[in-house]
Amino acid sequence: MKKIFDRLVRSQVWRSIFRHGLPESNRTRAEAIFFNFFFHLHPTKVRKRSIKFTYTWGLGGISFGLFIVLVITGALLMLYYRPSVPQAYGDMKDLQFVVSSGQFLRNMHRWAAHAMVAIVFLHMLRVFYTGSYRPPKEFNWVIGVILFVTTILLSYTGYLLPWDQLSFWGISVGTNMIRAMPFGIGEMISFLLLGGNIVGENALVRFYVLHCFIIPVAAILLMAIHFWRIRKDGGV
Amino acid sequence: MDKDFKVEITSDVKKVTKRIAFIKDRDAARVKKVDEDMVMTFPNLVIREIIAFQVMVIVLVLISLFVDAPLEWIANPEHTPNPAKAPWYFLGLQELLHYFPPVVGGVLLPSLAVIALIVIPYFKINLKKDGLWKELPRQTLTGFLIFVGTVSLVLLLFRVYAMLVPTIIVSTFMLIPYFSKRNNIFIEWLGSRPLSWWIMTWFVIIAVVLTTIGTLFRGPEWSWTWPWQRIY
């Protein structure tokens, strides 16, 4: 068995994919990090202190993990959802009663979304209380705050999509808050967001596009910069 | 001091292709000793990331198996629920709207909060690691009392007890190390907290209190309702 495994690892196909042997020495362990697309953002060595669980509580990583779960479940939910009135609500009912595991899929998406808002906030607190916003990381803190706002916007735009009483009035209350902005700016932003003066079909389509495309793309870009800067500033 | 080595400086690679530096024992050019323990990223960090991700997914799956996402009746613009609530993370804001005029509660205060968060690293006061009372304790006390007094007065005027009570509690803790004659670990710890720590803690407590009240303690007409009195 071991022989077969060894031959497999040494085979040309395996080496063409991984380019290094099993991580048995520090050299190959380092190679496992910097020859790997997904890991190359990490340094090959990290400070023992900075990967201590009680230092970071893994909150930033868990936020990113939740985002991945949300992208996967969200993409699956898109297969069963039409952003129009009244089909949107009907599709929710279909997810509940017709689609296999539809309810489970929606539950995962919903709870992951709520969790992400909370965890990102906690991550921000951790960064503050460990003083990790200090130079040279000050701009990364700014990006982090923008990412927190982006997370809330992602959650908020998704809130309308089920088109039930909860979402309709939740969004109505929220956009009324925006309307309180002075000099007619609030009215303008609210009109732009809703595609009208009330929460209607236009608003549903706009929130759908914002939720499934525009804000996620912005969030991914910001996250890429956020992670890259952590590394450049000497972090993990 | 006599030099016991010869230095030749040139940048012309055609003339000098190899350079040798003789370094005496006393200033050996060994790399400054790394003062912190380093470990290999693989497997130390990678395994932690994987475990954290898996635990997160397991918890999420368990919750999703047993707790269903809410779905009410189809949206009906004619029928306003009482109270109409925003998602939970906006209920602190909605609670503010209950006390202040919309421009203050819905626009001014939240914008100020976000701007204040963004500019944190650019102000010296947030980079200081010294305790609040370490430098100029007298002047600090005067400024502190003026600020807290003004804020408390405004909060009292608008009857925002949900913000007033945390403000008073936090200020009391801030004052303990200034006035306390006894000294124990807790008071010492309080005394070592810098100003930025206190401001953030105050902000977080208020945000949590307001959000909790808005989520659990508000019923019809935004009146005070205990969680167990919930009719809907």
Give the separation between CA B85 and CA B91, rounded to whole angstroms. 7
Residue B75 domain-assigned (yes or no): no
Report the range of poorest mean pLDDT among A120-124, A154-158, A222-226, B214-218. B214-218
8 Å CB contact of A47 and B36: yes
Mutate to test the interface with A, among B44, B56, B58 (most CBs of A within 10 A): B56
Instruction: Return the ∠ at Cα B61 (arms to B57 and B63), rounded to 5°.
Output: 120
The range of the structural domain enclosing residue B123 comes to 88-229
8 Å CB contact of A138 and B121: yes
Share of chain A above pLDDT 90, in %: 65
Given A65, A86, A182, which is nearest B56 (Cβ)? Answer: A65
Q: Specify the pLDDT at position B167.
A: 94
**Helical segments of chain B, H only:** 41-66, 91-99, 102, 109-119, 124-127, 137-157, 161-179, 185-191, 195-216
8 Å CB contact of A107 and B102: no
Query: How many domains, chain B?
Result: 1
- Whole-model pTM: value is 0.87
Given B41, B43, B79, which is nearest A45 (Cβ)? Answer: B41
8 Å CB contact of A47 and B38: yes
The helix (run of H) or strand (run of E) holding residue A32 is helix A26-34
Residue B179 domain-assigned (yes or no): yes
CATH superfamily of A50-232: Cytochrome Bc1 Complex; Chain C (1.20.810.10)
Q: Specify the pLDDT at position B134.
A: 82
Asked whether the beta carbons of A130 and A59 are under 8 A apart, the reply is: no
A-chain residues near B40 (CB < 8 A): 26, 29-30, 44-45
Beta strands in chain A (DSSP E): 45-47
Question: Is omega for the bond preceding B137 within 30 degrees of 0, making it cis?
Answer: no
| Helices and strands, counts by H and E, chain A | 12, 1
Residue B71 domain-assigned (yes or no): no
The sign of the CA dihedral A84, A86, A88, A94 is: negative
Residues 50-79 of B with CB under 8 A from A: 52-53, 56-57, 60-61, 63-65, 67-77, 79
8 Å CB contact of A115 and B77: no
Residue B22 domain-assigned (yes or no): no
The torsion region of residue A164 among left (phi > 0), alpha (psi -120 to 50) and beta comes to: beta
Residue B2 domain-assigned (yes or no): no
Query: What is the distance in angstroms between the Cα of A4 and the nearest Cα belonging to chain B?
Result: 24
pLDDT digits (tens, 9 = 90+) for B180-197: 877 888 888 888 899 899
Query: What is the distance in angstroms between the Cα of A143 and the nearest Cα belonging to chain B?
Result: 8
* HEC profile of B131-190: CCCCCCHHHHHHHHHHHHHHHHHHHHHCCCHHHHHHHHHHHHHHHHHHHCCCCCHHHHHH
Question: Is omega for the bond preceding B70 within 30 degrees of 0, making it cis?
Answer: no
8 Å CB contact of A165 and B72: yes
Half-sphere exposure of B122 (CA within 13 A, CB side): 9
A-chain residues near B121 (CB < 8 A): 133-135, 137-139, 141-142
Of A133, A165, A164, A155, the residue nearest A235 (C-alpha)? A133
Given A69, A96, A170, which is nearest B60 (Cβ)? Answer: A69
Give the separation between CA B214 and CA A236, rounded to whole angstroms. 38
Residue B9 domain-assigned (yes or no): no
The DSSP code for B88 is G
**Mean pLDDT, each 10-residue run in order, chain B (232 residues):** 61 65 59 72 91 96 95 90 90 91 87 93 83 84 92 92 93 89 85 90 95 91 83 50
ipTM for the predicted complex comes to 0.89
Give the separation between CA A128 and CA A123, rounded to whole angstroms. 9
Asked whether the beta carbons of A80 and A102 are under 8 A apart, the reply is: yes
The number of C-beta contacts closer than 8 angstroms across A and B is 195
Q: Specify the pLDDT at position B74.
A: 93
Q: B38-40 and A45-47 as β-strands: parallel, antiparallel, unpaired?
A: antiparallel
Mutate to test the interface with A, among B38, B39, B71, B93 (most CBs of A within 10 A): B71
